[in-house]
C-alpha cells in the first residue's frame, strides 16, 4: 500500500521532503506533481525504477525517459549542449519543456534511446519537485503518469493513490494537478524540431 503524503504546493515542508528523499534513496517509486501534471519517478541509477515505470505504463524500447534536473548545471552534466542550444534552452528553463539531446557518459546506457543514443531532460518549474531534487542532490528518472487505456488523467492525489496503491510506494499530494504536457524539442539532428506541442511556447525553437 502506497504512503500518502500531503505537502504545501509552494513551500513544501522540509521534514516531509527529507522523508520522501530518504525513501527514494532506498529505491522507492514516487508519484509527484510537476508543472506538466503527475509524474512517476525514482533514482536514476536504479534499474528497478525503469522496469516498474515501463510495466505501469506498458512502454516499448523506444520510449524516451526523462531525466528531471534541479538546474542547468546539472542538466549540462547529462547531455551534450553546444553554444546555440545553450542559449535557447537556458532561456526556456525552468519551464514546461522537455529537450531530446545526445547523452553524455554520465547517463546509463539502458536509459538511452535504442538507436539515437539520446535522452530527454528537463528542469521543471514546480516547487515540490524542485525541493525533492535539491534534497536528493542528483537528477531523477521520470515519466509522465499516463496509464494505458486512460482518456482522463487523475486530478486529485487520492485518485492517483486509489489507482496505483499497490504498484507505487509514495503518492505526494500538493493539491489539484492539471495535465499540461510539456513541449518536446528534439535536438537529435543538431537543430531544434518540435516533436510535441504542449504548454511551452514553441516560437523560440521554430525561428
3-class DSSP string for 149-183: CCCCCCCCHHHHHHHHCCCCCEEEECCCCCCCCCE
| CATH number of the CATH domain containing 19 | 3.90.870.10
Domain extent for 148:
3-205
pLDDT score, position 177: 87
- The pLDDT tens digits of the residues spanning 106-157 come to 888 888 776 788 999 999 999 999 999 999 999 999 998 888 777 667 788 8
pLDDT score, position 161: 93
The parts of the chain modelled with pLDDT lower than 50 are none
Selection from 35, 74, 86, 65 nearest residue 192 by Cα = 86
- How many domains would you assign to the chain? 1
pLDDT score, position 149: 74
Contact between 7 and 17 (Cβ < 8 Å): yes
- Which residues, 6+ apart, have CB-to-CB distance to 40 below 8 Å? 29, 30, 31, 53, 56, 57, 142, 143, 144, 145, 168
What is the residue-averaged pLDDT of the chain? 91
DSSP conformation class of 109: G
The grid cell for 5 is 503524503
pLDDT score, position 207: 66
Amino acid at each position: 500500500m502506497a504512503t500518502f503524503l500531503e505537502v504545501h504546493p509552494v513551500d513544501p515542508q522540509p521534514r516531509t521532503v527529507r522523508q520522501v528523499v530518504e525513501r527514494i534513496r532506498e529505491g522507492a517509486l514516487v508519484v509527484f506533481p510537476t508543472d506538466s501534471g503527475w509524474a512517476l519517478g525514482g533514482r536514476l541509477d536504479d534499474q528497478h525504477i525503469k522496469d516498474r515505470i515501463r510495466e505501469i505504463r506498458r512502454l516499448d524500447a523506444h520510449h524516451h525517459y526523462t531525466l528531471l534536473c534541479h538546474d542547468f548545471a546539472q542538466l549540462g552534466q547529462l547531455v551534450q549542449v553546444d553554444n546555440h542550444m545553450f542559449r535557447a534552452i537556458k532561456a526556456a528553463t525552468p519551464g514546461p519543456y522537455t529537450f531530446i539531446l545526445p547523452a553524455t557518459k554520465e547517463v546509463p546506457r539502458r536509459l538511452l534511446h535504442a538507436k539515437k543514443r539520446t535522452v530527454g531532460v528537463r528542469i521543471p518549474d514546480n516547487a515540490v519537485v524542485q525541493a525533492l531534487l535539491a534534497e536528493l542532490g542528483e537528477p531523477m528518472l521520470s515519466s509522465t503518469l499516463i496509464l494505458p487505456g486512460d482518456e482522463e488523467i487523475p486530478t486529485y492525489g487520492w485518485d492517483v493513490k486509489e489507482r496505483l496503491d499497490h504498484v507505487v510506494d509514495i503518492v505526494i499530494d500538493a493539491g489539484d494537478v492539471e495535465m499540461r504536457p510539456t513541449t518536446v524539442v528534439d535536438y537529435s539532428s543538431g537543430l531544434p524540431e518540435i516533436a510535441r506541442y504542449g504548454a511551452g511556447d514553441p516560437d523560440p525553437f521554430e525561428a
